Amino acid sequence: MTAPDILWREPSPVNTSHYAQARAKADGTLAPTVTLLVTTGCHYCEDARDELTTRADRGDLEFNVVSVDSEQGRALQATHRPSMFPLVLLDGQPFSIGRLPRRKLDRALARSKAC
């Protein structure tokens, strides 16, 4: 697939808190919150969004997408100054920049379940 073939869709706000709340009611734990800071034309952003949406749909985490062009996105960019996108925050702390490390995410989510 060449760059002109890639269609970009503007990020829409994704908030899966109802999944996290359902999980919290079911097992007494709170799901971690993942914030994804994205920009336009970013294939890593699309990949991370798809993976995190799937995990949020399973109730593993609460998930929010923030565009770098939004007020909140500009604030996150000024605070964390990522060298590339996407920026992934786990419970408000920097988790990764660029390609989403799935195994690292698996370990982090397993640790949060154990607590």
Mean of pLDDT over the chain = 83
Q: Which one has a higher pLDDT value, 5 or 26? A: 26
Enter the pTM of the model. 0.75
Q: How far is Cα 13 from Cα 63, in angstroms, rounded to an integer?
A: 9
pLDDT tens digits, 56-88: 999 999 999 999 999 999 999 999 999 999 999
Topology classification of domain 10-114: Glutaredoxin (3.40.30)
Please determine, for residue 12, whether its predicted confidence score (pLDDT) is greater than 50.
no
**Structural domain boundaries of the chain?**
10-114
Bridge-based pairing state of the strands 87-90 and 93-97: antiparallel
